Chain A
Amino acid sequence: MLTQVQDDMFTPDVIADPYAYYGRLRDEDPVHWNESYALWVVTRHDDLVWLTRHHELFSSAVFKNDPRPPYPDIDESDLGLYEYVRNYQGEQFIQHDRPEHLEMRRVMHSYFTPKSMEAWRPFVVNAVKELLDAAEAKGEMDVMRDLATPLPVLVIAQMMGVPPEERGHVRRLAEKLLYIGRGDYDRMKPLTEGMRGMIEYVSPLVDRRIVDPGDDFISVLARGEKQGVFTRHQVLVNTSLLLLAGHETTINLLCNGTLALLRHPDQWELLKQDPAGRAKAATEECLRYDSPVKSIQRIASEDVEMRGKVLRKDERVRWFISSANRDPDAFPEPETFDIARHPNQHVAFGSGTHHCLGATLARVEGQEVFKALAERFPGLRLTGGELAYQPSITFRSLKSLPVTWH
């Protein structure tokens, strides 16, 4: 039993290195009640797999089913804005349980199959090339600002059918939406501005797709509205979900992966010897070693027993990908970054019926970025400045990642 554990998951040391803190919980108290935030912290790989595959026991309708205020704290005067966020987030398909979740996911699922996403690879390759051309011409690069942030927006804007001249607007909204995963005290204002801005921007696009559908993602959702699966508000919210869910997560994969590669010169050398051949397994190891998403929350749908503890109905349950992916019972030498690791059954995308819909797209973007960096910038290295992370419990997000190749 754990006797001494501080329960504040937002202290600078836990934010800087979540692996020590959650690793200790995994070893000593794998289903841990965190008193300060009133939630269960689940940290073992096998428990995560079990939990995510028993969706009937753990509800994903967190915003709808959790009346408690947000954490970390926000200013009392922002609680009205939080209500807006709750109603907005609650309409996302990922915030539903079966049978609604299945019905909604089926509308979008075939858009994201491995085969359909493979068709996007040439677009991704070209977007990466253009971003790296620009960085090369400038002679320096912040991987975060110059590559990882714009790339997913370019891809998603294309999927939404956004014309090139409006991409800047979508990108600014996307940057406001990033506040969803942050712990800043004053995060509600920019977040709600991003959400309202997206609704306003997407509305006329949906109107057009209803009468004149194309092969873009908004047309897919518009079809869902015609079939009676989505309300109009849900179409709007789920369109921005594509931006919300596909942006921060991909940024983190690209930044955390690049950082891991540059901090392990032997592995960076291995990748450079055969970028095309090794990018796929390397991307999987980046996803495992420093996962883009640290943890996700559910609400217990009934009393559930796990490892001798009773999780009561309606209690918050948070499962930690970043500790599960370093679980020694699931991975030999889990602290070693090994780009040829096989098998690599990480849970970076979750598991079960809610397994990340955009997983294949994220993989394609990761593979193409790591391959291009290894091919074009063999001398790539960190500039040596101190690196800082966003104070988030959900995302493993660097604030910047400056690199050089001179």
Chain B
Amino acid sequence: MPRKLRVWVDHTACVGNAMCETIATKSFRLNENRQSEAIDPPGDGEAAILEAAENCPVSAIFVEDAETGERLFP
């Protein structure tokens, strides 16, 4: 069983570059302000979600292990 992730986007930092939505299409979508929102639960595997987080140009994406609270990104 893959572990459950808690993913969120800091909207004071997000610039709507939308690369996350391109990389992990089932885990991020743009809201009405064209900022990214994490879809709960995320629909992509951990690798795609971490790749999306790493490719955020303003480091606005946070990823944690939902059970243990371990920070996986950044």
User: Are A and B bound to each other?
Assistant: yes
B19 shortest CB reach to chain A, Å: 6
Q: Is A64 an interface residue (CB 8 A)?
A: no
Complexed CA–CA distance, A17 and B33 (Å):
32
Contact of A113 with B22 at beta-carbon distance under 8 Å, contacts A352-B16, A355-B15 already known:
no
B57 with A360: CB separation less than 8 A: yes
Contact with B along A92-133 (1 / 0, CB 8 A): 000000000010011001101111000000000000000000
Q: Is A359 an interface residue (CB 8 A)?
A: yes
Cβ-defined partner of A113 (8 Å) among B15, B33, B34, B55? B55
Q: Is B12 an interface residue (CB 8 A)?
A: yes
B22 with A351: CB separation less than 8 A: no
Please indicate the chain A residues that have their CB under 8 angstroms from the CB of B25 in the complex. none
B57 with A353: CB separation less than 8 A: no
For B59, the closest partner residue in chain A by CB is: A114
Q: Is A343 an interface residue (CB 8 A)?
A: yes
For A363, the closest partner residue in chain B by CB is: B58
Q: Is B18 an interface residue (CB 8 A)?
A: yes
Cβ-defined partner of A109 (8 Å) among B12, B19, B33, B59? B19
For A347, the closest partner residue in chain B by CB is: B15
B17 with A353: CB separation less than 8 A: yes
A58 shortest CB reach to chain B, Å: 13
Q: Is B46 an interface residue (CB 8 A)?
A: no
Interface residues of A in 58-117 (CB under 8 A from B): 102, 105-106, 109-110, 112-115
Interface residues of B in 1-19 (CB under 8 A from A): 12, 15-19
A108 shortest CB reach to chain B, Å: 11
Q: Is A273 an interface residue (CB 8 A)?
A: no
Interface of B: prevailing SS: loop
Interface residues of B in 27-70 (CB under 8 A from A): 33-34, 54-59
Please indicate the chain A residues that have their CB under 8 angstroms from the CB of B33 in the complex. 53
B59 shortest CB reach to chain A, Å: 5
B15 with A352: CB separation less than 8 A: yes
Contact with B along A338-365 (1 / 0, CB 8 A): 0000010100011111010101100000
Cβ-defined partner of B16 (8 Å) among A53, A105, A106, A349? A53
Interface of A: prevailing SS: helix
A114 with B12: CB separation less than 8 A: no
Q: Is A376 an interface residue (CB 8 A)?
A: no
B49 shortest CB reach to chain A, Å: 15
Complexed CA–CA distance, A106 and B17 (Å):
12
Complexed CA–CA distance, A352 and B33 (Å):
10
Please indicate the chain B residues that have their CB under 8 angstroms from the CB of A359 in the complex. 57-58
Q: Which residues of B contact A (CB under 8 A)?
A: 12, 15-19, 22, 33-34, 54-59
**19 further contact pairs, Cβ within 8 A, besides A109-B55, A110-B55:** A102-B22, A109-B19, A109-B57, A113-B55, A113-B57, A114-B57, A343-B12, A345-B12, A349-B15, A350-B15, A352-B15, A352-B17, A353-B16, A353-B17, A353-B18, A355-B17, A355-B57, A355-B58, A359-B58
Q: Which residues of A contact B (CB under 8 A)?
A: 53-54, 102, 105-106, 109-110, 112-115, 343, 345, 349-353, 355, 357, 359-360
Provide a sorted-by-A list of 21 A–B residue pairs whose CB atoms are within 8 angstroms: A53-B16, A53-B34, A54-B34, A106-B19, A109-B55, A109-B57, A110-B54, A112-B57, A113-B54, A113-B57, A114-B57, A115-B54, A343-B12, A350-B15, A351-B15, A351-B16, A353-B16, A353-B18, A355-B17, A357-B57, A359-B57
